[in-house]
Structure 1
Amino acid sequence: MILVPTGSLQEGDRLGQHVYRSDGRLVLSRGAVLTANLISGLIRMNIDSVYIDNVRDNEAVPASLMDSGLLRAAAIDVVRAVFTEVAGTGSFHSRPVIRLADDMLRALAKEGDVKLQMKELRTEGSYLHAHSTNVCVLSIMTAMALGYTEQHLRTVAIGALLHDIGYVAAQAVDARTDHPRIGFDLVRRHPDLPLLAAHVVLQHHEQLNGGGFPLGIRGEALRQSAQIVAIANDFDHFVNEIGQNRLPHEGIEYVMSKVDVSYEIAVVRAFVQSVAPYPIGTVVRLSNGMIGTVSELHKGHPSRPVIVTKDQGLRFDLLHFQTDFIEEVILDPRVLAG
């Protein structure tokens, strides 16, 4: 079963899951065979993607939903729809959030030891949606490393997806510094969402030493689930801030510097264990000017991978060339192709 953008659907595709509107109403049932009219109807209803369970002629099923980028793209679309609804009405439908959290949990559990590229190019308009999606992925991976149960993972995923929902509502009342409290009030209105998810939203800017906001809580009052989302939030903002050329391994060093100040060491350790700053396939520019692709990782030395250079295909092991280092993650595929 694969997730396909509605604009890429073809007549004869068969739905692998029910399709719902943003308000939770059923549109099409699992097993429905799509016609041109049905596809047009999905597009008109602004349904961005659907699951299909057929394999098209001469087409292979992607080995990984996360690697294909389809699930992440669908997640961004769901977050965008929820945030747009909140900005317009002051409320949101919870069912799409719950389904998305479940989909992401299943995909990441199936992947096992997944390593995702967390460095992205973002615009102002898409920043918050992509950020919320990345925070969710990072939070799930960290909670898995901590051995959380499926129910607890689901709660963390929902809290991570919605951690900035109050920021969207706060823009209208000029209370951005109080967005965790506003988000808490929005989330706790939904009885089908875990109350702990609302507390994750409330506490994701708190710190162990009491220096956070909006409540200034400290120590054991700061829930571990909220710390997980706080670390993911800080890391993603640090690495992907618009206009900054910050590297993923610098983001890891940044969150590690806040141990016992903002977060417990156990949570930081689980986060670092879960995140590869330069996953295999990452295109980088080295300090010596070479451009290449990460081909191997060294356990215990995440910032010193093996690079295969673009021009000559040389194997360049940074663990053995201590004076050279990664200077930039290249996100434009035309650089490698050119």
Structure 2
Amino acid sequence: MASNLLQTPALHAGTIPFSRPPTPGVHPLQIGFCGLGAMGYLMARNLANSLILNRLSSFADTLDQLATECDVIFTCLANDAVVISQSPPTKVKIFVEMGTNYPALAGDLDRMLSSFPHTRFITSPIFGAPPAADKATLVIAMSGDHRSKKEVAFLLVPAVGRKVIDLGENVEKASTLKLIGNGNLAAILELLAETLTLGEKSGIGQQTVYDLITEIMPAPAIISYGKKMINDSFDGSVGFSMDGGIKDSSLVYRRSDLGSLLDTHSFIVSNAHRSMITTRAIHQAQVVSGTQQWDIVDESALIASSRVAAGLDPFNSKKGTTVVREE
């Protein structure tokens, strides 16, 4: 059944920009996954449960064991990291970094790993929140060695994601696209926060504003994150944490960033970053006083910054929103 899946080109038409890899040999690929966080766990689970990888595997005791015994090693880590074996590999190994990292790091990792014989490195960041990872509807960017991308693409689609975007041989390109995409999301969150707060403070109501926005701009991110904001659904344990959003947005706008290198600037991303920093400070103050509702807040909670500036409650839109007309 798995082999039939690989031999049906129509199934992947428009979703994988590579031809089908060679038929696996007698010994199936051993797959390793490092980074079982909010996203990594769901992706690893879907890989294990997929038709292609229904023969998968067990747990490694150490990271060195993972790198030594596996043919393809996926890493999806909150911070920049890579795992390599202390002993040079005797067969081809593919390292796949799926996290959000600064593009120059990808180049550094590629040069380091390329010094080991038979070792390949590709960047493959993913677009989508935990619910998309759960449903295997992520969009996957890839850059690096062509043969490795082909092998990995057919492992990930449809098991983990719905589409692969090929960015060519330069390993930095996929990381660059990831930051551009994350910057776009931060800008959307900031715009939503300011707009919904204005609607609430004006007396029109954030629900009415949300209904209008989703009517004229029914993008998935606007619909899902806007719904979190109007419903005060800021539990970061089931979403994308504020700390993660701060880290990602800082990669986009910081002084040594993409924008400065390319003579561009993302003002709205800078504003979003400031809103996230402010929201985190408000939440941390509540943690200290023991009044917090959530131990971790979702990045959509950046609306707290706009609400506080407007004299509203940061995390409860039902408080302090009554508008009194002046006679």
TM-score range, shorter chain: under 0.3
Q: What is the TM-score of this pair, normalised by structure 2?
A: 0.28
Q: What is the TM-score of this pair, normalised by structure 1?
A: 0.27
Return the index of the structure with the highest Cα Rg: 2
